[in-house]
C-alpha cells in the first residue's frame, strides 16, 4: 500500500542539471516518436480488420476515454518532451501552473501567464485540459493563512471565481478541492477547514462557487491513497454522499494513483465503482508506479502489469472517463526528488522511449473494443469473498426496516470482513462491521443497491439487488410539465419541469412516462434517461437530486421519431402518479 505521495514536500522536485539533460535530448524527438509503434495486433471494426491504434490517445479515444498527462512549464521548452506530450495524449493537467501560489501570489493579484501557456500548448495539440487545482493546503501563499476566518471564506470564493472565470469554457474538469483528508480519514484541519468550521462546509462552498463561474466544467475532489477501500476512501465516500444529498454540484472523484510497483490495491475497480454508483465520474488523475532505481527488468514487467490493470479497471467502469499519467517521462517525474533512490515511475524512460508499461497499456486500450469481461462482483485478490445476494427488497416511506442481514464468507480463515453499500434508499445504512442494513426510508423509488464486502487483504466481493420503496412522504405531491421545445422532420427536443407540490423535500427522483408515439431519446441533459420501448425513466443528476417544497427542476432531451411525436401526458415521480 502506498503510504505518502509526498504531496506538499518541496517547491520543485527537479534536480539541478535537468534542463541541460533535456537540451541534449531534444534532437532525439523525431526518432523517439517514430519508434512508438510497438504494440502489435489488429482489432475488428465494422467487420473488417483495422490496424490497432499506436498511440495512447488513439487507443483511449477508440475506447471512448481520454489519456492525459501532467505537463509543467519547464517541459514546454523541451522539444522531445512536447513531442511525446503532444502526440501520445489528448488531455493535459498543468503540473503546478494553476495552483494558488502561482495564480494569486498576492491577495487579488492574478497571474495567469504560466497556466495560459499550458492551455495554449494543449489547444494547439487538440488536447483538453484538467484544471489542477483551486483549493489545497499546499502550494498556498502565506497571505491566505494570515487572514481571519471570514476573510478566508471571501478570499477562497474570490480565488475560485477569478480563476474559473478566466478559464471558463477551456477546462474539461477542475480539481476544485485537492487532498482534503488525513490518512485516517479525518479532515485535514487546514486554513479552509478552520475558517468554515468543517470539511463538507468549505468543500461544498468551493464546488458551488466554481459551478457558478463555469457551469459546464466537471467539478472534482481529488486525493491520494483512496484508490483501494480503507478509512480514507470510506471518508471520501461519505463526503460524496453528504455533498450530493445537499445538492452540491459535485461531478467526480479523482483517484491520484501514485503507486508502488506490485502494490496496486486489489479493490481498485470495486472501490471506484461504488463511487460511480453514486452517479459520479471516477478518474485516474495522477498515475505513476515507482520502483527502486536503476530499474530491474522484473520491476519494469511488473509495472507493465500494474499500469495495464489500472487502465483495464477504468475501461470496465462506464463512468471512468480517462486516465492521466503524472509527468511525461521518467526524466520529468516528481518521484526521484521526493523519494530518493526511487523513480522509473512513468511509461516513458529518461530518454522518452516507450517502456514495457507503454506497450501493455496500449494493448489494454486496444482490447477495449470488445466488452469488458470483468465485473466488480469477482474477487481480485488471492482470497475469494463470496457475498450471498439477499434478493429484491421492499419497504415503505416512514416505516422502519427491521433489518436485512447481508451474509458473506471468505476462502481464507481469520479474515475480518468490512461491509459497505452504495445506492441504498435514503434513510437506510449498513453496519460496516456486521452487514446489517437498517433505518427508516424517507423517499419512495426504486434503488439499485450494491453491497461490497472486503477482507483484510483487500480482496472483495459484491452483491447487487434492487430495493423498492413505495408510498408515503411527499413524493406523490408533484406536477410535471412536458414542453416540446423544437421539432423537425424525424427529430425533436423537449424540456421537462418537475415541481415538488408537497411539503417535504424530495431527495433523489426518477420521473416516469410513456411516449404515445415512436420517439427515441438520443441524448439528455440534467437527468439520466433509460428507455425501454415507449417507457422512459429519467433519474436526477447528482447536482439536482434535491427539490425543496414548492421548488422545481428541469431536464431536457433530444430524440428521433419516425411517424408520431405526440407528447406524453401522464407522469410519475418515484413511482407515484403526479398531477
CB of 65 to ligand 9MR, least distance (A): 21
CB nearer to ligand 9MR: pick between 3 and 11: 11
Kindly indicate which of the ranges 10-18, 466-474, 493-501, 522-530 contains the residues binding ligand 9MR, using the contact rule CB under 6 A: 10-18
List the one residue from 12, 183, 483, 487 that touches ligand 9MR (CB under 6 A): 12
User: What is the spatial distance between Cα 323 and Cα 305, in angstroms, rounded to a whole number?
Assistant: 16
Question: In sequence order, what are the residues at sequence separation of 6 or more whose Cβ sits closer than 8 angstroms to the Cβ of residue 27?
Answer: none
Indicate whether 7 belongs to the interface with ligand 9MR (CB under 6 A). yes
Indicate whether 390 belongs to the interface with ligand 9MR (CB under 6 A). no
Inter-helix orientation angle 231-245/268-276, to 10° = 10
Q: Based on the number of CB atoms within 10 Å of its own CB, is 79 exposed (0-12), middle (13-18) or buried (19 or more)?
A: middle
Contacts to ligand 9MR from residues 13-72, by CB under 6 A: 13
Catalytic position from the list 179, 227, 256, 487: 179
Indicate whether 141 belongs to the interface with ligand 9MR (CB under 6 A). no
H helices of 257-333, in order, are 268-276, 297-315
CB nearer to ligand 9MR: pick between 13 and 274: 13
Per-residue HEC secondary structure of 106-163 comes to ECCECCCHHHHHHHHHHHHCCCEEEEEEEECCCCCCHHHHCCCHHHHHHHHHHHHHHH
User: What is the spatial distance between Cα 159 and Cα 151, in angstroms, rounded to a whole number?
Assistant: 12
CB nearer to ligand 9MR: pick between 221 and 244: 221
Cell of 490: 424525424
Catalytic position from the list 95, 104, 256, 286: 286
Question: In sequence order, what are the residues at sequence separation of 6 or more whose Cβ sits closer than 8 angstroms to the Cβ of residue 142?
Answer: none
CB of 136 to ligand 9MR, least distance (A): 7
Contacts to ligand 9MR from residues 154-213, by CB under 6 A: 178
Question: Hunting for cell 514495457 — which residue is that?
Answer: 356
Inter-helix orientation angle 356-366/297-315, to 10° = 20
**Are the C-beta atoms of 263 and 291 separated by less than 8 Å?**
no
CB nearer to ligand 9MR: pick between 8 and 141: 8
Closest alpha carbon to 360 in 296, 309, 323: 309
Kindly indicate which of the ranges 11-19, 117-125, 147-155, 310-318 contains the residues binding ligand 9MR, using the contact rule CB under 6 A: 11-19
Known catalytic residue at 61: no
Q: How far is CA 478 from CA 19, 181, 474, in A?
A: 64, 39, 8
Kindly indicate which of the ranges 5-13, 122-130, 302-310, 560-568 contains the residues binding ligand 9MR, using the contact rule CB under 6 A: 5-13
List the one residue from 54, 107, 111, 138 that touches ligand 9MR (CB under 6 A): 138
Indicate whether 410 belongs to the interface with ligand 9MR (CB under 6 A). no
End-to-end CA separation in angstroms for the chain? 54
Kindly indicate which of the ranges 1-9, 394-402, 412-420, 466-474 contains the residues binding ligand 9MR, using the contact rule CB under 6 A: 1-9
Known catalytic residue at 104: no
Spell out, one character per residue from 281 to 320, where the chain touches ligand 9MR: x when CB under 6 A holds, - when not. -----x----------------------------------
Chain centroid to CA 556: 24
Kindly indicate which of the ranges 9-17, 244-252, 389-397, 492-500 contains the residues binding ligand 9MR, using the contact rule CB under 6 A: 9-17
CB nearer to ligand 9MR: pick between 203 and 426: 203
User: What is the spatial distance between Cα 60 and Cα 69, in angstroms, rounded to a whole number?
Assistant: 13
List the one residue from 100, 193, 237, 334 that touches ligand 9MR (CB under 6 A): 334
User: What is the spatial distance between Cα 245 and Cα 239, in angstroms, rounded to a whole number?
Assistant: 10
Q: How far is CA 229 from CA 137, 233, 382, in A?
A: 24, 6, 16
List the one residue from 2, 75, 95, 281 that touches ligand 9MR (CB under 6 A): 95
Spell out, one character per residue from 244 to 273, where the chain touches ligand 9MR: x when CB under 6 A holds, - when not. ------------x-----------------
571-573 β-sheet, strand order? 527-532, 535-540, 510-514, 571-573, 576-577
CB nearer to ligand 9MR: pick between 325 and 376: 325
How big is the chain, counted in residues?
Answer: 579
CA contacts within 13 A on the Cβ side of 31: 6
Site of interaction with ligand 9MR (CB under 6 A): 5-8, 10-13, 95-96, 138-139, 178, 256, 286, 334
Active site residues: 179, 286
Amino acid at each position: 500500500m502506498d503510504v505518502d505521495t509526498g504531496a506538499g514536500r518541496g517547491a520543485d522536485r527537479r534536480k539541478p542539471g535537468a534542463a541541460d539533460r533535456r537540451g541534449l535530448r531534444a534532437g532525439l524527438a523525431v526518432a523517439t516518436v517514430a519508434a512508438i509503434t510497438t504494440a502489435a495486433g489488429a482489432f475488428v471494426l465494422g467487420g473488417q480488420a483495422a490496424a490497432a491504434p499506436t498511440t495512447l490517445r488513439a487507443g483511449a479515444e477508440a475506447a471512448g476515454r481520454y489519456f492525459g498527462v501532467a505537463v509543467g512549464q519547464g517541459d514546454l521548452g523541451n522539444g522531445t518532451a512536447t513531442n511525446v506530450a503532444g502526440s501520445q495524449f489528448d488531455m493535459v493537467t498543468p503540473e503546478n501552473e494553476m495552483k494558488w501560489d502561482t495564480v494569486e501570489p498576492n491577495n487579488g493579484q492574478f497571474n495567469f501567464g504560466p497556466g495560459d501557456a499550458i492551455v495554449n500548448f494543449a489547444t494547439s495539440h487538440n488536447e483538453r485540459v484538467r484544471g489542477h487545482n483551486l483549493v489545497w493546503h499546499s502550494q498556498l501563499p502565506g497571505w491566505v493563512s494570515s487572514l481571519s476566518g471570514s476573510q478566508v471564506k471571501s478570499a477562497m470564493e474570490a480565488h475560485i471565481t477569478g480563476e474559473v472565470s478566466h478559464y471558463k469554457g477551456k477546462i474539461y474538469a477542475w480539481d476544485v478541492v485537492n487532498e482534503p483528508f488525513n490518512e485516517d480519514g479525518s479532515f485535514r484541519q487546514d486554513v479552509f477547514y478552520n475558517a468554515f468550521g468543517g470539511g463538507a462546509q468549505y468543500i461544498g462552498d468551493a464546488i458551488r462557487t466554481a459551478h457558478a463561474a463555469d457551469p459546464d466544467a466537471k467539478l472534482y475532489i481529488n486525493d491520494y491513497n483512496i484508490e483501494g477501500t480503507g478509512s480514507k476512501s470510506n471518508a471520501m465516500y461519505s463526503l460524496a454522499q453528504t455533498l450530493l444529498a445537499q445538492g452540491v454540484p459535485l461531478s467526480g472523484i479523482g483517484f491520484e494513483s501514485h503507486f508502488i510497483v506490485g502494490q496496486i490495491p486489489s479493490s481498485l475497480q470495486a472501490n471506484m465503482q461504488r463511487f460511480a454508483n453514486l452517479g459520479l465520474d471516477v478518474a485516474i488523475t495522477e498515475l505513476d508506479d515507482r520502483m527502486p532505481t536503476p530499474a530491474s527488468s522484473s520491476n519494469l514487467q511488473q509495472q507493465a502489469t500494474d499500469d495495464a490493470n489500472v487502465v483495464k479497471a477504468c475501461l470496465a467502469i462506464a463512468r471512468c472517463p480517462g486516465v492521466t499519467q503524472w509527468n511525461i517521462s521518467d526524466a520529468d517525474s516528481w518521484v526521484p526528488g521526493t523519494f530518493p533512490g526511487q523513480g522509473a515511475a512513468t511509461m516513458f524512460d529518461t530518454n522518452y522511449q516507450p517502456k514495457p508499461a507503454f506497450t501493455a497499456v496500449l494493448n489494454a486500450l486496444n482490447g477495449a473494443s470488445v466488452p469488458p469481461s470483468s465485473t466488480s462482483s469477482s474477487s481480485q485478490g488471492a482470497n475469494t469473498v463470496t457475498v450471498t445476494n439477499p434478493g429484491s427488497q421492499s419497504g415503505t416511506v416512514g416505516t422502519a426496516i427491521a433489518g436485512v442481514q447481508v451474509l458473506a464468507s471468505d476462502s481464507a480463515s481469520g479474515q475480518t470482513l468490512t461491509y459497505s453499500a452504495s445506492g441504498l434508499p435514503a434513510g437506510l445504512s449498513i453496519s460496516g462491521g456486521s452487514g446489517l442494513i437498517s433505518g427508516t426510508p424517507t423517499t419512495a423509488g426504486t434503488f439499485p443497491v450494491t453491497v461490497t464486502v472486503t477482507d483484510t487483504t483487500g480482496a472483495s466481493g459484491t452483491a447487487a439487488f434492487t430495493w423498492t420503496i413505495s408510498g408515503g412522504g411527499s413524493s406523490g405531491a408533484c406536477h410535471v410539465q412536458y414542453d416540446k421545445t423544437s421539432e423537425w422532420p424525424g427529430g425533436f427536443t423537449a424540456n421537462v419541469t418537475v415541481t415538488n407540490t408537497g411539503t417535504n423535500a424530495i431527495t433523489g427522483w426518477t420521473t416516469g412516462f410513456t411516449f404515445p408515439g415512436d420517439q427515441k431519446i438520443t441524448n439528455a441533459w440534467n437527468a439520466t434517461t433509460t428507455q425501454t420501448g415507449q417507457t422512459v425513466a429519467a433519474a436526477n443528476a447528482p447536482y439536482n437530486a434535491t427539490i425543496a417544497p414548492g421548488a422545481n427542476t428541469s431536464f431536457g432531451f433530444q430524440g428521433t421519431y419516425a411517424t408520431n411525436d405526440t407528447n406524453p401526458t401522464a407522469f410519475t415521480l418515484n413511482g407515484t402518479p403526479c398531477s
